[in-house]
Amino acid sequence: MFAKLVVVLLGLGLTSGALLVNRQHRIDAAVEIGRAGERLRRQEASLGLLRAEVAKAVRPDLIAAALDGLSIKDGVEGWKAIPGRFDLVPLRPLAQAEAGR
25-67 per-position pLDDT tens digit: 999 999 999 999 999 999 999 998 998 888 887 777 777 777 6
- Is residue 83 situated within a structural domain? no
- Is residue 49 situated within a structural domain? yes
Q: Can you tell me whether residue 78 is helix, strand or coil?
A: coil
User: Is the pTM for the entire model greater than 0.75?
Assistant: no
What number of other Cβ atoms are within 10 A of residue 79's Cβ? 13
Measured distance CA(12)–CA(16) in Å, rounded: 6
Those residues with Cβ within 8 angstroms of residue 60's Cβ, 6 or more apart along the chain or in another chain: 79, 81
Give residue 53's domain range: 22-62
- Is residue 11 situated within a structural domain? no
pLDDT at 60: 74
Q: Is the pLDDT at 100 greater than 60, yes or no?
A: no
Give the total number of structural domains in the chain. 1
What number of other Cβ atoms are within 10 A of residue 64's Cβ? 14
- Is residue 3 situated within a structural domain? no
